[in-house]
Amino acid sequence: MTKTRYDFKKELLVEKKMNSNQRERILELASKEFSYEGTLEQRIQKIEELIFRENTDEEKKIIFEQTLGSGTQKIADLNNELHEINSKLNDAFGDDPDKVSNLSDPRYEDVDRINTLNTTEIDELSNLANLFGDSESKGKKELKQFKGLKRQGGTEEKPKYYDPYKLYEFLFHYNQNLVLRYTCHDIDEDALTNINARCNSETYDFTAHLKIIIEEFEKHSKQYFAPKIAPLIRGYLTGKGYTGSQLQNGWSTDKIREGWSSVKLSHWAEQNPGIPPNWNEDLAEEKDIELFPIEPQIKSPISFEPIQNFTQLTLHFKNLFHVKYGNESLKAILKRVNEFKKWNDVIDIVFDEHKFPDNLEHFTSVDKVRWAYVRLLESIVEKHNIDGKPKVKLGFYEENQCVYLSIHHVNGVYKKTIQNTLERDGEKLSLLIEKQINGLCNLILKADFGGSNYAEINLWNGKERQVIPLDNFQGVQFLLEFPKIKRS
């Protein structure tokens, strides 16, 4: 019955013959009824499905208007209404703004309208607020609180689980796509021939090439679902977010503004007809072509090398999602992190020579892997309480269609009991799961819990936590599990 009413209202809302007064009245009625349908979790899930799936731009705008209101007052009214509903549904849900403090924490790298995404979505909040006539700061605050309602209360509530296989699937097929793959590789003569054929052009046409890139990305985003990565890639390709507004702070954690749709790059293409912006550097040098410069220059957080032109930016984009060999291997990346953080001074770090090859490839969010590694080593240093340095053995290997990153604190003991670990996470583990782990990988703990108690616990894999007793185990091991096939 509810679905029928909803479908009827949706049809009315997208009918072009309706005048603005009729549309506003239906929005008002639909918004009121929609607010009371199901639990808060169910309402948020309904909004997520609408936003991230096959809606037209007009439908998406309607969804945003219906959900968030058309200005400061409407957004505030919606939040007040949700507070009141939740007070009735559960005494643990209140309207105390202090309970939403975690979402205002500046340490958060990932904030979005409905789910925790990446830093590109901070611009989404600003753009959405501007679209509906709200101030940037007020819009960010209200939208964070909207997300925060389902985290309030005395009992611990965990974020919605995102299957990390979806991330691998999205990135793997992006790299295999015959159009999109050239947005993360440099272009040589053979690649140029393929691109021209797809553009039905005898010579390279940047405008035509960009058009099919964006078309292919839209198709790809509908076929594969990776909400924590898609906004970043969308920003890189289009310079825009879901609402169609320009991103003001760039598309990456480095706040890089230049991308395939930047105005400056378009001007460069006009002055360099027939040359793709990510032309192979050796070929460009042979033909004395000055590639599009990245100004000011930035240093890649992955390779620690400068990014000076668009071809290098394209390769940097690739390195954000592809662990491979050589300077871009995970071993090389983590060694640079260790050096930068000066961890070799305080931790005895060893790469397992049998379980950490230099040539294991995987598609994932390399930046989030780095941050997860940083947070886990920080925790090891903080909790190590015996004489001498903590000893950490690192492994990176493939087994049963999964890739594993092992961080093993060999001379450590886990600081919680098995029962406490089942029941509750500390603040830092909660933040680690929400900010880095969720959607990136599963997290498994194997540990000596003290008192001759040894066990394996699935800290985060979308299932209820369970204990697998172990006969013996030395130290504390965190296993980051990256599935390459979909599990049932």
Query: 214: closest CA among 265, 169, 180?
Result: 180
User: Residue 398 in 3-state DSSP?
Assistant: strand
User: Between β-strands 467-469 and 391-399, what pairing exists: parallel, antiparallel or unpaired?
Assistant: unpaired
On whether both 314 and 374 belong to a single domain, the answer is no
Tell me, yes or no, whether 86 and 224 share the same domain. Answer: no
The answer to whether residues 333 and 470 belong to one domain is yes
Pick from 151-165, 352-366, 413-427, 473-487: least confident: 151-165
- Look at 153 and 219; give whichever has higher pLDDT: 219
156 assigned to some structural domain = no
Are 372 and 413 in contact, with CB atoms under 8 Å apart? no
Span 53-106, pLDDT tens digits: 444 444 444 444 444 444 444 445 545 544 454 444 443 333 332 332 332 332
* 134 and 188 belong to one structural domain: no
Q: Quick one: 285 and 334 in the same domain?
A: no
| Of the residues 151, 179, 213, the one at which a domain ends | 151
Instruction: Considering only residues 141 and 118, tell me which one the structure prediction assigns the higher pLDDT.
Output: 141
- Say whether 67 sits in a helix, a strand or coil: helix
Do 121 and 81 fall within a single domain? yes
**Is residue 197 assigned to a domain?**
yes
Q: How far is CA 352 from CA 12, 236, 331, 337, 358, in A?
A: 62, 36, 10, 17, 11
**Per residue in 308-327, pLDDT tens?**
999 999 999 999 999 998 88
pLDDT of residue 8: 54
Q: Are residues 315 and 340 in the same domain?
A: no
Instruction: Give yes or no for residue 111 having a pLDDT over 60.
Output: no
| Average model confidence (pLDDT) across the chain | 77
Residue 157 lies in a domain: no
Query: What pLDDT is recorded for position 97?
Result: 29
Amino acid at 168: Y
Same domain, 126 and 234: no
Structural domain for 147, as ranges: 2-151
The pair phi, psi for residue 416, each rounded to 5°, is -125, 160
Q: Is residue 220 located within the same domain as residue 302?
A: yes
Name the token pair of 408: 């093993």
Rounded Cα distance between 250 and 258, Å, is: 7
Q: 388 versus 270: which is more confidently predicted?
A: 270
Distance (Å, whole) CA 243 – CA 116: 17
pLDDT band for 11, please (50, 70, 90 cuts).
low
Final residue of a domain: which of 320, 353, 368?
Answer: 320
Residue 335 lies in a domain: yes
The stretch 321-343 carries a mean pLDDT of: 93
Number of domains in the chain: 3
Task: Select from 320, 355, 380 the last residue of a domain.
Answer: 320
pLDDT digits (tens, 9 = 90+) for 458-474: 999 999 999 999 999 99
Residue 347 shares a structural domain with residue 442: yes
- 357: domain CATH number? 3.30.565.10
Q: For residue 158, is it within any domain?
A: no
Q: Write the DSSP assignment of 403-461 as a string of letters.
A: EEEEEEETT---SS-HHHHHH---HHHHHHIIIIITTT-EEEEEEE-STT-EEEEEEES
Q: Under 8 Å CB-to-CB from 179, ≥6 apart: which residues?
A: 195, 198, 212, 213, 216
Let me know whether 479 and 333 are in one domain: yes
Q: Are residues 228 and 311 in the same domain?
A: yes
Is residue 343 one of the residues assigned to a domain?
yes
Q: Per the domain annotation, does 315 fall within a domain?
A: yes
Angle between helices 136-148 and 120-131 (to 10 degrees): 110
Give the confidence band of 21 by pLDDT, cuts at 50, 70, 90: low
14: number of Cβ within 10 Å: 14
Domain contains 488: no
Output the six-digit token pair for 51.
């936003």
| Residues in Cβ contact with 194 at an 8 Å cutoff, skipping those fewer than 6 apart | 178
Per-residue pLDDT, averaged over 217-238, amounts to 91
